[in-house]
Structure 1
Amino acid sequence: MAGFAAAGLLAYAVDLALFTFLRGPAGADPLTAKALSFMAGCTVAYAGNALGPYRTARTRAGVRTFAVFCAVNLAGAAVQLLCLAVSHYGLGLTSQRADTVSGAVIGMALATMLRFWGTRTLVFHNRGRGGSWTG
């Protein structure tokens, strides 16, 4: 789990740094900046997981595997947004602190559990051993 966390932290740092650069000095619009930074973060996370905690998993590397990895990460992002939307719009908790807690704390915790499960179950799994990673 430590390797998964390390890869995730590095990917988060890349995502945040690239988004900040694209929105700031590069002058990109927010959606373009976020889409590009998200893909860069996914690429770093995929490489970090493939070369780190899941390096012994027997899986086919390639476009399909990377696409499934990105889909798992998009599902995690949707969980974070859902937590934020429920708190902000559904419960009326509209302060910056409430948004941070719901999106970046609660949402991130739930999204991380989903990403961990999805990464080990759907992306990096040992074929021929019941379809799940036994690491």
Structure 2
Amino acid sequence: MGAWEQVGCYCERGLDPGFWAEPLNATSNIAFLAASLMAYADYRARAQPQADPPAARFLLFLILWVMVIGAGSFVFHTLATVWARLADVIPIAIFVLAYLFFAARRFLRLGTQLSLILALVVAAGSQLL
């Protein structure tokens, strides 16, 4: 299957190859943009980057990455090509693993290496599903 080949018959799309064949899925990605903007506003209002600069930078990365997820998902649900499917699922997978790493460090207080190992084990395990 080529990168520009259409992916069909899923979600709202059915067999329609049109740009707006999935209007609900496409427009719902505005929520990712809104969530990212709200998270950034909350970050600016409450975060104290000087207290933990690495954590603050990582949190900003996660907030920005939510926008990337929304953009990738919009592209997939409007173009419905093989490459667009990757633009949808890869950012989501990166976010999940990055958040797992962040949460393991922040909430479980695991070290960097152990948190990274945990994220890699989850990534490897997800390939088995």
TM-score range, shorter chain: 0.3 to 0.5
Q: TM-score, normalised by structure 1?
A: 0.32
